[in-house]
């Protein structure tokens, strides 16, 4: 149903298992749809300039230019050089996190007293390793569907996700980009409901 609702030609349509990673080049002008199939799943995402891996998604630039710590429809995701990378052109949730970064086994030990089975940092390292990159190439990432409320005094916490089954976000590439995703395996906090679930990734382009 979701695939048929897309107003263009589908280039690829994939299911990413709970806790798994994924990466793909998304050419300029095409769109990546991220679908939360079962709801309450966090999707940690890195974006790189496809021609220059040292230029990547920059959370402070994005927040400053959006005027908000949350990403929603209409927000442009900017790189280190303050150039547009992707634009959120559709969004059925309305709030995505720019603050909390990715989970790691190390911070799990500090916060929860145990490392957990796997982490988004592990996933990013595995994905980037196949692309000739390493831990130095992991900037603060964006977390689609993750709910991180910010209080009036600046306090934050990771809360139960807002996304429902079938919710999605569409990201249009404003230049050739490389998108790297960790379908978050976190089981120790509510970001994935304590039970990570699969997502669907649909790469599509508008017809001519």
Instruction: Tell me the pLDDT tens digit for each residue of 116-138.
Output: 989 999 999 999 999 999 999 99
Is residue 173 situated within a structural domain?
Answer: yes
Q: What is the pLDDT of residues 26-35, one digit of tens each?
A: 999 999 999 9
Is residue 73 situated within a structural domain?
Answer: yes
Is residue 2 situated within a structural domain?
Answer: no
Residues 2 and 168: beta-carbon distance below 8 Å: yes
Q: How many CB atoms lie within 10 A of CB 39?
A: 15
Distance, in Å, from the CA atom of 60 to the CA atom of 66, rounded to the nearest integer, reads 10
Instruction: Look at residue 147 and tell me whether its pLDDT is greater than 60.
Output: yes
Is residue 175 situated within a structural domain?
Answer: yes
Is residue 191 situated within a structural domain?
Answer: yes
| Domains held by the chain: number | 1
State which residues form the domain around 69.
Answer: 9-205
Instruction: Give me the percent of the chain exceeding a pLDDT of 90.
Output: 93
Distance, in Å, from the CA atom of 121 to the CA atom of 123, rounded to the nearest integer, reads 5
Residues 141 and 45: beta-carbon distance below 8 Å: yes
Is residue 180 situated within a structural domain?
Answer: yes
Is residue 1 situated within a structural domain?
Answer: no
Is residue 178 situated within a structural domain?
Answer: yes
Q: What is the pLDDT of residues 42-100, one digit of tens each?
A: 999 999 999 999 999 999 999 999 999 999 999 999 999 999 999 999 999 999 999 99
């Amino acid at each position: 149903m979701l695939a048929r609702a897309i107003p263009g030609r589908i280039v690829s349509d994939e299911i990413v298992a709970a806790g798994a990673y994924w990466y793909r080049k998304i050419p300029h002008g095409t769109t990546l749809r991220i679908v939360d199939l079962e709801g309450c799943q966090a999707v940690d995402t890195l974006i790189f300039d496809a021609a220059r891996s040292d230029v990547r998604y920059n959370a402070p630039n994005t927040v400053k230019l959006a005027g908000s710590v949350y990403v929603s429809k209409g927000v442009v995701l900017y790189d280190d050089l303050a150039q547009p990378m992707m634009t959120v052109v559709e969004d059925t949730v309305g709030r995505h996190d720019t603050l909390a970064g990715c989970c790691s086994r190390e911070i799990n030990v500090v916060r929860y007293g145990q490392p957990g089975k796997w982490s988004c940092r592990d996933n990013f390292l595995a994905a980037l390793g196949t692309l000739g990159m390493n831990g130095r190439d992991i900037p603060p990432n964006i977390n689609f569907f993750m709910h991180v409320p910010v209080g009036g005094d600046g306090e934050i916490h990771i809360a139960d996700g807002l996304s429902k089954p079938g919710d999605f976000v569409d990201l249009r590439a404003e230049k050739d980009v490389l998108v790297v995703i960790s379908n978050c395996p976190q089981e120790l906090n509510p970001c994935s409901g304590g039970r990570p679930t699969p997502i669907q990734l649909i790469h599509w382009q508008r017809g001519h």
